[in-house]
Amino acid sequence: MNYIPITDKDRAEMLKVIGVSGIEDLFKDIPQALREKVKYEKIPQEERSEFELIREFERISERNKVIRDYNSYLGGGVYDHLYPV
What local confidence, expressed as pLDDT, does residue 18 receive? 92
| HEC profile of the chain | CEECCCCHHHHHHHHHHHCCCCHHHHCCCCCHHHHHHCCCCCCCCCCEEHHHHHHHHHHHHCCCCCCCCCCCCCCCCCCCCCCCC
pLDDT value at residue 26: 85
pLDDT score of 17: 95
pLDDT for the residue numbered 68 = 67
pTM metric for this prediction: 0.40
**Mean pLDDT of successive 10-residue segments in the chain (85 residues)?**
76 92 85 73 74 85 72 66 67
